[in-house]
Structure 1
């Protein structure tokens, strides 16, 4: 177990166990302080059928180690522990962690559950086969890209997001939802929309509708530096319906590319030719590659990869 997570667990066992008693003193009523979401913005999934469906979609194996983000009171956790070898959860709210600990205290599942208090964005992540989460919507992008960059690569992630975010993740080229998020995530994974979840399934209900997606990371991943790919898509999705040629003429783009070109050549100990006209070189690459009049809104992942390769062949970089 990573040292940072272990120390967080030890801290939980020393300081937060007693809080469970007071937190649960009014668990049957709507005034339960656990469901005051002002601090962490949590919305507890209360529908057992939806919780079961989410876990079922993961097709868990008896040997699986599962990681869960923001378990709340453990409605997903309980179902995970019925099928998986173990489950490690990370929870920011000590009250929720105490409630979760109390729920499994003295039960056989307790020895297969590890509770960590901490911030997913900052924590060192453990090994896991499967990720399952009713995700904190404020860190949706962090969850997606930390998952895709985590090594070893997990088998699958079943994640619930705000509906609009989920639809953007799953979008296809040419659709209204196709965006930089779509292409960046789909470079490294296969993503499917598997379930809609209405706001009435939560306590308290959020202001938005939700959806569950299945993310299957590509293994092995494409040998592309994310910073390079993201740098290109950042430029082309500035105005997704404009041509590639038009987006490269935006303020600051040519200066950035020239600076990157010189830094790249310097790193390779190659001679820097100050007479190079970066604008003419970019125009030539766009025309020769056939993407000058293409629009990001209709380009697929392979199109972006081909264009990035053409730029790299001419020592032009985006990261």
Structure 2
């Protein structure tokens, strides 16, 4: 079957077993994004999960409805036809997904906002490694900072293109995310996200110049207040050199007083 909507169907049975084991789904409400032909779905149901799946491709939706008609009647499987980037998410405990690589970033950020007990997600290997890059190192970026602010990132195992049909042109990595509270106080999560976004959109600039370049998004008064409150040592650094504590400090200084 030709992959649609950037989908590559996982065929490796051992990988499916490992994903289910990592997910610990027995008796839990599981959100599956991009179930495709339902191979992983069947394994999740067999492991005792109650599954809600979001699928965009109408031809795959039809096949899933036929394959899991009994589970739909029994109430153990619910299928949502829609785009996981936009459709409202149902209540769930655990999320498991072979994510379409082109939508990995927006879906990951949506999941972090929604909240979950744990997530076992498959990404393009390069994307997964960027997500796990230590904050404060040259390899880190907006993705690293935003995900690690709200979750522990564990790279679990890699999969070659041959584990999928049709095979993608890149290797894949299964990642487990375990949410935690931010390690430092954040006054406004939206301002924090905007600060991280603006600084990394000007990542070759110093913090001072990056903030001033983001005045349109952050507000000129907020930016100047933050600059006035930061030591020169921080203002002269690049965003990839900053710790999570410093990102939180900058964001809190940029947060307008009530």
* The two structures share one fold, judged by TM-score above 0.5: yes
1:106-185 maps to which residues of 2 (within 5 A)?
106=70, 111-150=75-114, 153-185=115-147
Match of 2:58 in 1: 94
Task: Give the gaps of 5 or more residues in structure 1.
Answer: 1-34, 262-277
| 2:228 maps to 1:284 | yes
Distance across 1 between alignment mates of 2:68 and 2:248: 48
| 2:166 maps to 1:204 | yes
Q: Is the 2:55–2:82 contact (alpha carbons within 8 Å) kept by the matching residues of 1?
A: yes
Q: Deviations 1:156-193 (Å, cap 9, x if unpaired)?
A: 01100111111111111243430011111222222221
Q: Deviations 1:87-122 (Å, cap 9, x if unpaired)?
A: 111111122122223333457996411122111122
Number of residue pairs matched? 257
Q: Is the 2:128–2:175 contact (alpha carbons within 8 Å) kept by the matching residues of 1?
A: yes
Match of 1:232 in 2: 195
Structure 1 vs Structure 2 CA RMSD: 2.8
Match of 2:33 in 1: 69
Give structure 1 regions of 4+ aligned residues with deviation exceeding 6 angstroms.
none
Distance across 2 between alignment mates of 1:297 and 1:259: 23
Larger gyration radius, structure 1 or structure 2: 1
Q: Is the 2:186–2:248 contact (alpha carbons within 8 Å) kept by the matching residues of 1?
A: no
Q: Deviations 1:244-280 (Å, cap 9, x if unpaired)?
A: 2343454xx456655565xxxxxxxxxxxxxxxx75x
Q: Deviations 1:186-224 (Å, cap 9, x if unpaired)?
A: 222222211111111110011121111111122589654
Task: Give the gaps of 5 or more residues in structure 2.
Answer: none
Match of 1:218 in 2: 180
Q: Is the 2:194–2:217 contact (alpha carbons within 8 Å) kept by the matching residues of 1?
A: no
Distance across 1 between alignment mates of 2:73 and 2:18: 20
Q: Evaluate the alpha carbon distance shift between residue 78 and residue 298 of structure 1 in structure 2; reply closer, same or farther with a 3 A threshold.
A: same
